[in-house]
């Protein structure tokens, strides 16, 4: 290893070898006091160290920290995160949990060990960068004292051999780039060596997509500095995957990020999205790759604003003016330095690298909601091996939609997989159900409820069997299909088991137990899965009303935590009850392999005219509908199972304008509406952080209705206030 020489223990910043200030300075010889014996100081240090060691408890001297650690045990009740105090943790678990505490509560329960390791590695590297940049660095090598002139005259960065024509991205060698080269060749050398090991696994996949678009191949170094070529890397800011997408940006570029799957971890999908994003940024900044990279890290809006503020598009000038965040200013020179070293790693001492084999696989099409254990068994691999090939999966089963999904299996196993999978009965393909932890539950009580071992629950959820679980945590529960587990398949009626007494998963995600032997097949409510495309101005509450479902279910089906964070173009999964008379006929008439679920340009239900025609002809009360805030004519038509043209004709509407409070006829037979019974009144106690808008969305009503029911003139509410909610 070659380390740049510098004066010993100098507080001055790093001095590069081509600077005249790099000349070695004489080191003053320490003066020994004539009244002190040479060995007295050392002996005193030994005695002090021995005294401190003897003063420690016996357990500490033995290195056993477990004596003071507490273990709540598997029967410890769930902690309500809103009220539970912080519990001390032992040193053994503190390291594992450190990064996940900053990302999202409960995320550690679904992260595989490889994902945790990648996240911890990324965090350690980032901390190493922060501690290294601007610090004096390590001591000079021994060669410095033997041959100070010769050592100083060497160029460990090989600056004279750098040829910009070798690269297809702009290469500029300045002090900022040199500083990052020094880091990668010094304290960052172990990390860079690890990146090189992984590069051979992922670069071929990236090159194929880059070449198809005619983009620079050296863009692969952006993935190197983002994630170290690790699909499981997660940052403190919750960015994830090879290209470190934030959840919102990932969804914007058509990556699925929900409870079931995270396409940011998928190498093919994330590379496609990253190249889409980089192409967009490259065009936005008129072909300037430096500004495009800076925008990838810091956001295009911030970078565009800085260029306008300073009146320049020269990244290096903007950097000299400190117009961007420090991380963004370091991002561009870091990428250039990584590319320079990556083109000739042996030149910079990276020899003996154990390059990983290329990521190779076969793909097969399978139905939704199949257990990972079943897929792995048919593919002839382990569950962990299957997840390594399909890193986007966050649960131990495929998502319930779309109806047909593509998964990766080991290379050369496609024929074997298809043959083995065909032997598995449909009712045995899903062996897991979802359980949301409730207050008072423990790992032991949940295991007893489902008649499984708590160790099995802990294993598939990647948590310690003795770890405390928290209220609201989602767990995957292994269950035998013969125990009566019922899971709704997308775009098909839900069937009811004819025997067994195990838990049943309803279409809304809740479970019930008890014998189902006496229930006829028609007793179970058939469901269909439709896809709704969010439009500008939509709210989750308005979509829920239009589709006839609750906001909570809509959030659960789509992995949405904040109901205010939806965007135009987003596709939402909606589970709806199939029309009673049409479900059997429609299923029988539907060709094999066809789907009733799918994207709809208008965002309407995919039930189709056939389903509407089979519905009862009697008028449905009420025959009028009062327009609410956020409603549109197409949403109302969809929710009432009528055509948009009929709705306009019945109400003599020529355009599409409707107003809040307007009453619309929604049935061709406008029979008098019977007097409705008195509405049920719910009393809600306002909690800290509540708003009228949030409460209205939760109970599917408008803010105006809340104000009217409670005599409110403004929007001010306070914790403990009682609000009446009708309906």
Q: Does residue 6 sit within a domain?
A: no
Assigned token pair, 610:
């056939």
Q: Does residue 628 sit within a domain?
A: yes
Q: How many Å apart are CA 274 and CA 332, to the nearest integer? A: 17
3-state secondary structure 448-459: HHHCCCHHHHHH
Asked if residue 465 lies in contact with residue 479, where contact means CB atoms within 8 angstroms, the answer is: no
Which pLDDT belongs to residue 289? 97
Do 142 and 182 share a domain, yes or no?
A: yes
Q: How many Å apart are CA 222 and CA 582, to the nearest integer? A: 53
Residue 397: which domain range? 362-521
| Confidence bin at 314 (pLDDT 50/70/90) | very high
* Domain tally, the chain: 4
Do 323 and 416 share a domain, yes or no?
A: no
Q: How many Å apart are CA 87 and CA 85, to the nearest integer? A: 6
Lowest mean pLDDT among 330-339, 356-365, 389-398: 389-398
Residue indicated by tokens 């030994």: 46
Q: Among residues 361, 191, 336, 198, which one has the least CA distance to residue 268?
A: 361
| Confidence bin at 374 (pLDDT 50/70/90) | very high
Asked if residue 486 lies in contact with residue 509, where contact means CB atoms within 8 angstroms, the answer is: no
Which pLDDT belongs to residue 460? 72
Do 476 and 552 share a domain, yes or no?
A: no
> Mean pLDDT over residues 343-360, rounded?
94
> Mean pLDDT over residues 218-236, rounded?
94
Residue 2, burial from CB neighbour count under 10 angstroms (0-12, 13-18, 19+): middle
Percent of the chain with pLDDT over 90: 33
Among candidate residues 521, 537, 552, the one where a domain is terminated: 521
Is pLDDT above 90 for 17?
A: no
Q: How many Å apart are CA 178 and CA 334, to the nearest integer? A: 9
Is pLDDT above 90 for 274?
A: yes
Is pLDDT above 60 for 272?
A: yes
DSSP state of 397: B
Residue 502, burial from CB neighbour count under 10 angstroms (0-12, 13-18, 19+): buried
Q: Among residues 590, 586, 594, which one has the least CA distance to residue 610?
A: 586
Which pLDDT belongs to residue 163? 95
Which pLDDT belongs to residue 211? 97
Asked if residue 101 lies in contact with residue 86, where contact means CB atoms within 8 angstroms, the answer is: no
Q: How many Å apart are CA 199 and CA 197, to the nearest integer? A: 6
Q: How many Å apart are CA 164 and CA 427, to the nearest integer? A: 61
Which pLDDT belongs to residue 433? 75
* Bigger pLDDT: 242 vs 450: 242
The segment with the largest mean pLDDT, out of 73-82, 153-162, 571-580, 654-663, is: 153-162
Is pLDDT above 90 for 486?
A: no
Q: What is the DSSP string of 629-661?
A: TT--HHHHHHHTT--HHHHHHHTT-SSS---TT
* Bigger pLDDT: 514 vs 426: 426
Q: What does the longest C-alpha to C-alpha distance in the chain come to?
A: 114
Q: Does residue 400 sit within a domain?
A: yes
Q: Does residue 12 sit within a domain?
A: no
> Mean pLDDT over residues 60-66, rounded?
43
Do 502 and 578 share a domain, yes or no?
A: no
> Mean pLDDT over residues 559-569, rounded?
76
* Bigger pLDDT: 643 vs 408: 408
| Confidence bin at 458 (pLDDT 50/70/90) | confident
Which pLDDT belongs to residue 175? 95
| Confidence bin at 387 (pLDDT 50/70/90) | very high
Which pLDDT belongs to residue 111? 60
Q: How many Å apart are CA 136 and CA 185, to the nearest integer? A: 15
Among candidate residues 502, 521, 540, the one where a domain is terminated: 521
* Bigger pLDDT: 484 vs 282: 282
Asked if residue 223 lies in contact with residue 229, where contact means CB atoms within 8 angstroms, the answer is: yes
Do 153 and 287 share a domain, yes or no?
A: yes
* Bigger pLDDT: 130 vs 591: 130
148-173 tens-digit pLDDT: 766 666 788 999 999 999 999 999 99
Among candidate residues 624, 639, 665, the one where a domain is terminated: 665
Residue indicated by tokens 């001492």: 349
Do 393 and 498 share a domain, yes or no?
A: yes
> Mean pLDDT over residues 163-191, rounded?
95
Do 460 and 576 share a domain, yes or no?
A: no
Assigned token pair, 718:
């306070």
Assigned token pair, 324:
């961007």
Q: Among residues 7, 247, 239, 35, which one has the least CA distance to residue 137?
A: 7
Which pLDDT belongs to residue 142? 66
Do 546 and 625 share a domain, yes or no?
A: yes
Q: Does residue 685 sit within a domain?
A: yes
Which pLDDT belongs to residue 293? 97
Which pLDDT belongs to residue 718? 80
> Mean pLDDT over residues 609-636, rounded?
58
We report the CATH number of the domain holding residue 239 as 1.10.530.10
Start-to-end C-alpha separation, the chain = 74
Q: Does residue 536 sit within a domain?
A: yes
At a CB cut-off of 8 Å and minimum separation 6, what does 98 contact?
Answer: 120, 123
Residue/partner pairs of 237-242 with CB below 8 Å, 24 or more apart: 238/103, 238/104, 240/264, 240/265, 241/265, 241/266, 241/270, 242/202, 242/267, 242/270, 242/271, 242/274
Helix (H, G, I), strand (E, B) or coil at 432: strand
Q: What is the DSSP string of 8-52?
A: TT--SPP--TTSGGGS--PPPPPPPPTTS-TTHHHHHHHHHHHHH
248-269 tens-digit pLDDT: 999 999 999 988 899 999 999 9
* Bigger pLDDT: 482 vs 182: 182
Is pLDDT above 50 for 489?
A: no
Mean pLDDT of the chain: 73
We report the CATH number of the domain holding residue 489 as 3.10.350.10
Is pLDDT above 70 for 326?
A: yes
Is pLDDT above 60 for 506?
A: no
Which pLDDT belongs to residue 13? 43
Do 644 and 685 share a domain, yes or no?
A: no
> Mean pLDDT over residues 620-642, rounded?
71
Helix (H, G, I), strand (E, B) or coil at 692: helix
> Mean pLDDT over residues 570-598, rounded?
50
Which pLDDT belongs to residue 679? 56
Helix (H, G, I), strand (E, B) or coil at 554: helix
Look at the alpha carbons of 467, 472, 474, 479 in this order and tell me if their dihedral is positive or negative.
positive
Which pLDDT belongs to residue 4? 45
Q: Does residue 337 sit within a domain?
A: yes
Q: What share of the chain is helix, strand, coil (3-state, %, to 5)?
A: 45, 10, 50
Is pLDDT above 60 for 368?
A: yes
Do 545 and 511 share a domain, yes or no?
A: no
Q: How many Å apart are CA 585 and CA 56, to the nearest integer? A: 79
Q: Does residue 172 sit within a domain?
A: yes
Do 181 and 134 share a domain, yes or no?
A: yes
Which pLDDT belongs to residue 668? 60
* Bigger pLDDT: 292 vs 507: 292
> Mean pLDDT over residues 199-206, rounded?
97
Instruction: Give backbone dihedrals phi and psi of 76, rounded to 5 degrees, phi first.
Output: -65, 135
Lowest mean pLDDT among 255-269, 272-286, 618-632: 618-632
Do 603 and 708 share a domain, yes or no?
A: no
* Bigger pLDDT: 123 vs 278: 278
Which pLDDT belongs to residue 706? 81
Q: How many Å apart are CA 51 and CA 54, to the nearest integer? A: 5
Residue indicated by tokens 């509908």: 625
Q: Among residues 407, 413, 408, 419, which one has the least CA distance to residue 380?
A: 413
Peptide bond into 462 cis (omega under 30): no
Would you name the residues annotated as active-site residues?
A: 226
Lowest mean pLDDT among 185-189, 256-260, 634-638: 634-638
């Amino acid at each position: 290893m070659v380390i740049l020489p510098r004066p010993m223990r100098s507080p001055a910043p790093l001095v590069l070898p081509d600077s005249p200030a790099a000349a070695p300075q004489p080191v003053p010889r320490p003066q020994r006091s004539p009244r002190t014996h040479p060995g007295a100081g050392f002996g005193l240090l030994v005695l002090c160290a021995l005294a401190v060691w003897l003063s420690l408890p016996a357990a500490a001297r033995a290195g056993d920290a477990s004596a003071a650690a507490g273990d709540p045990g598997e029967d410890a009740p769930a902690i309500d995160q809103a009220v539970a105090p912080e519990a001390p943790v032992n040193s053994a678990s503190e390291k594992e949990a450190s990064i996940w505490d900053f990302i999202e509560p409960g995320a550690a329960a679904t992260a595989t060990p490889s994902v945790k390791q990648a996240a911890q590695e990324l965090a350690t590297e980032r901390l190493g960068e922060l501690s290294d940049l601007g610090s004096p660095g390590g001591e000079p090598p021994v060669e410095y004292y033997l041959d100070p002139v010769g050592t100083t005259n060497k160029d460990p960065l090989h600056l004279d051999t750098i040829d910009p024509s070798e690269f297809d991205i702009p290469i500029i060698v300045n002090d900022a780039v040199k500083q990052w080269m020094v880091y990668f060749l010094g304290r960052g050398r172990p990390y860079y060596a690890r990146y090189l090991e992984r590069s051979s696994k992922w670069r071929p996949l990236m090159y194929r997509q880059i070449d198809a678009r005619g983009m620079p191949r050296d863009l692969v170094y952006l993935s190197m500095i983002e994630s170290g070529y690790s699909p499981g890397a997660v940052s403190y800011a919750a960015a994830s995957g090879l290209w470190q997408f934030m959840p919102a940006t990932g969804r914007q570029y058509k990556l699925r990020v929900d409870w079931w799957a995270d396409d940011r971890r998928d190498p093919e999908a994330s590379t496609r999205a990253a190249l889409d994003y980089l192409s967009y940024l490259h065009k936005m900044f008129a072909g300037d790759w430096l500004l495009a990279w800076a925008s990838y890290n810091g956001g295009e809006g911030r970078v565009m604003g800085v260029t306008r503020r300073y009146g320049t598009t020269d990244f290096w000038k903007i950097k000299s003016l400190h117009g961007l965040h420090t991380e963004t200013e370091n991002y561009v020179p870091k990428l250039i330095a990584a590319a320079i070293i990556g083109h000739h790693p042996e030149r910079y001492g990276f020899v003996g690298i154990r390059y990983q084999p290329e990521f190779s696989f076969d793909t097969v099409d399978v139905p939704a909601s199949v257990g990972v254990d079943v897929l792995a068994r048919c593919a002839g691999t382990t569950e962990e091996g299957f997840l390594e090939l399909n890193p986007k999966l966050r649960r131990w089963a495929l998502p319930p939609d779309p109806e047909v999904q593509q998964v990766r299996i080991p290379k050369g196993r496609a024929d074997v997989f298809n043959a083995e999978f065909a032997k598995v009965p449909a009712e045995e393909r899903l062996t897991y159900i979802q359980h949301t932890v409730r207050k008072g539950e423990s790992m032991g009580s949940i295991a007893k409820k489902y008649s499984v071992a708590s160790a099995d629950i802990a294993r598939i959820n990647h948590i310690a069997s003795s770890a405390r679980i928290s209220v609201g945590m989602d767990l995957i529960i292994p269950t035998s299909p013969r125990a009566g587990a019922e899971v709704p398949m997308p775009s098909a009626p839900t069937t009811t088991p004819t025997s067994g007494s195990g838990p049943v998963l309803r279409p809304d995600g809740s479970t019930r137990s008890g014998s189902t032997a006496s229930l006829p097949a028609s007793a179970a409510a058939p469901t269909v899965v439709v896809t709704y495309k969010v439009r500008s101005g939509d709210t989750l509450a308005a979509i829920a009303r239009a589709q006839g479902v609750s906001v909570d279910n809509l959030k659960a089906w789509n992995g949405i935590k904040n109901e205010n964070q939806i965007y135009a173009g987003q596709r939402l999964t909606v589970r709806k009850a199939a029309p009673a008379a049409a479900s059997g006929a429609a299923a029988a008439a539907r060709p094999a392999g066809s789907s009733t679920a799918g994207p709809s340009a208008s965002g309407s239900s995919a039930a189709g005219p056939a389903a509407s025609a089979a519905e009862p002809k009697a008028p449905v009360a009420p025959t009028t509908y009062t327009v609410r805030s956020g409603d549109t004519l197409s949403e109302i038509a969809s929710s009432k199972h009528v055509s948009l043209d009929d709705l306009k004709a019945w109400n003599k509407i020529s355009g599409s304008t409707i107003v809040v409070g307007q009453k619309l006829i929604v049935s061709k037979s406008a029979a008098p509406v019977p007097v409705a019974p008195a509405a049920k009144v719910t009393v809600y106690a306002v909690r800290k952080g509540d708003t009228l808008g949030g409460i209205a969305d939760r109970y599917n009503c408008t803010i105006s209705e809340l104000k009217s029911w409670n005599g409110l003139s403004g929007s001010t509410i306070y914790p403990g206030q009682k609000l009446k909610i009708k309906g």
